[in-house]
Copies of this chain bind each other. A is one copy, B any other.
Amino acid sequence: MKMILDERGKKYVLKEGEEFQSDLGIVKADVLDNASVGDEVKSHLDHSFKIIKPNINDFIDIMDRRCSILIKKDIGTVLAYTGLGAGSRVVDAGTGAGAIALNFANVVGETGQVYTYEIRQDFAEVAKKNIATFGIENVEVKNQDIKEGIDEDNIDLVFLDLPKPYEIFEEVHDALNLGGWLVVYAPYINQAEVSYRVAKKLNFYDIEIFETLERGLEVRQQGTRPKTRMVGHSGYLLFARKL
């Protein structure tokens, strides 16, 4: 998959064999097919475009999103605390537009695998399309209710972004590897609370809840200061380990 960057820094996905059209002009399909990453191409209006290799975030920024997606600070916390890496096996639910599954897939690579459960058919379709467009093979979108069972085992990470995640913690425990992690994303304190108590009862280890706050710093002519606006809350993350 290739992407194209216009002079304003706006990014577009290129579809193979198709010409590219924007308000800055048209680039012919054969020009694009012959261009490599790093090349500059011209539109018929003489505007320049750069061919870039999109990374996972470039793609997620422009893909069909339809529902809110996890923000980067939270994804990062999951990655860092679970030690997810190349070769890991992940289950996540619900899929939504597939953003978090794509993030996990990017890290676990071809030697790993992501299984993502989505109860709504429309979301599952969008996710499948997004994943196909990005062109990776290590994600399986399952249009199933995860509450009816987890088909996989030997899993390193089960990530749940569901209204009542604690209803399936027993199944999660069974699906996990020794040393594997359950992670819950909970916008409400009450979800985190109940999840904590249930995880405790089920003999998960190293149970912790936290949230992260991200704060920008602005460097201006007049001086440096934290940004005036900031996201006050996204969700809590609960971590629990099978040991």
Contacts and interface: CB of A to CB of B under 8 A. Distances in A.
Interface of A: 5, 9, 37-38, 50, 52-58, 72-73, 75-87, 103, 106-112, 156, 177-179, 187-193, 196-197, 205-206, 208-219, 222-234, 236, 243
A104 to B, nearest CB: 10
A217 B189 contact: yes
Given A55-B83, A106-B83, A197 B219 contact: yes
A89 to B, nearest CB: 12
17 contacts: A50-B178, A52-B179, A53-B179, A57-B83, A72-B80, A77-B214, A86-B111, A187-B223, A193-B219, A193-B224, A197-B219, A209-B219, A210-B216, A213-B213, A228-B231, A229-B229, A230-B230
Given A37-B179, A58-B83, A86-B107, 4 more contacts: A54-B179, A110-B111, A228-B234, A229-B231
A204 B177 CA distance: 42
B81 A109 contact: no
9 A-B pairs with least C-beta separation: A86-B109, A230-B232, A76-B80, A188-B223, A76-B76, A85-B106, A55-B83, A226-B233, A209-B217
A161 B120 CA distance: 45
Contacts of A230: 230-233
Contacts of A231: 228-230
Contact of A85 (B56, B78, B243): B56
A219 B184 CA distance: 15
Contact of A179 (B58, B86, B189, B225): B58
A223 B76 contact: no
A216 B224 contact: no
Contacts of A215: 210-213, 232-233
Contacts of A111: 86, 109-110
